[in-house]
Amino acid sequence: MPDLDKLERKIEACFNDAEANGWFPPELNEESDAQYWRLVAASLRPAKGMRILDAGCARGRYARRLSAAGAHVTGMDLTALFLHDARRAILEVDFVQATLRQLPFADATFDGVLCNGVLCHLADRKSALSEMARILKPGGTLLVIDHNLTGLHPRYFLPASWVKWYQERKGLWMYPPGFEFRENYFRADQLSYELGAWFSHVDETFVTEGHGRASALYNLFPSLSCEAAWVARR
C-alpha cells in the first residue's frame, strides 16, 4: 500500500464509493474522447521506446492508447477499484497504486507524464508537481488537464465553480457536505506560475472542443471553457 496520510485515505474512500455507485461513466462520448486523445497525443508525442506515466490513470483509457502508440506505459492511481478494472482489461500496461506526493520511481525515469483531472483532487499540489518534475527526464514533458476557474459549465452556461458550489451543498458532488476537502479549480495563469518553479517552459491553452453545444461558445471565447491544459517542459 502507498504511504497515505489521513486525508488521502478519506479522498480515496470517496473515489471508491463514487466508482462503486456508478458516478464515473466507463466511456466518454465519441466527440470528447477524440478531442482529448488528440490533445494527449500532440502534447506527449508517444512513440516506440518512450516511457510515459499516466498519473491518475483511472481505468486506463489513455494508458491503453499511449501503449498502442508504442510507448512503455505505467498507469498510477490512488483508487483501488479503478486499478482493479484497469488490470483486468489492459494487460500491456503496468499499473501501480501510489500517491502523487511520493511517487515510487527513480529520478529521470519518464519521457512524459499525463496528469488528467487529478490536481483538482490534491490537497498538497506543491509536492505533486515537485514529484512529477523529479521523475521526468531532462527535456521531458508534463501534460496537465484540469478545471478552469474562469470557465462556464457546459450544460448550464453558468460559472462552473458556482455550479460546483451549489451541488456540493446539495449533496450532489462526490465529496459529501461537510467534507474537509473541496475540489480545486485553477486560473490558467495561476497554475502556469506554479509549474514554473520546476519547469523551464510552460504553455497554457483552453480545451474548447469535445463539450457538445458549449464548444461553439468556447471556440469564440476560449477562456470560458470549463477545462484548461498546461504543457510543461523539463
pLDDT at position 25 is: 63
pLDDT of residue 214: 95
Asked if 142 and 234 count as a contact pair (C-beta separation under 8 A), the reply is yes
Residue 61 has which C-alpha cell? 483509457
Q: In order along the chain (234 residues), what is the average pLDDT of each group of 10 residues?
A: 72 82 63 84 96 95 95 94 91 94 96 97 94 98 97 96 92 86 94 97 95 94 97 97
Q: What is the pLDDT of residue 31?
A: 60
Q: What is the per-residue pLDDT for 62?
A: 94
Partnered with residue 110 across adjacent β-strands are 136
| pLDDT value, residue 90 | 93
pLDDT for 28 equals 52
122-130 contacts, C-beta under 8 A, 24 or more apart: 122/184, 123/7, 123/8, 123/11, 123/181, 125/184, 125/194, 126/194, 127/100, 127/101, 127/102, 128/100, 128/101, 129/194, 129/195, 129/197, 129/198, 130/198
The confidence score (pLDDT) of residue 177 equals: 85
What pLDDT, on the 0 to 100 scale, is given for residue 176?
86
- Domains of the chain: residue spans and CATH: 6-149+184-233 (3.40.50.150)
pLDDT at 4: 60
Q: In sequence order, which residues have a C-beta less than 8 Å from that of residue 184 and are 6 or more positions away?
A: 119, 120, 121, 122, 125, 147
Looking at residue 26, what is its pLDDT?
Answer: 60
| Residue 45: predicted pLDDT | 97
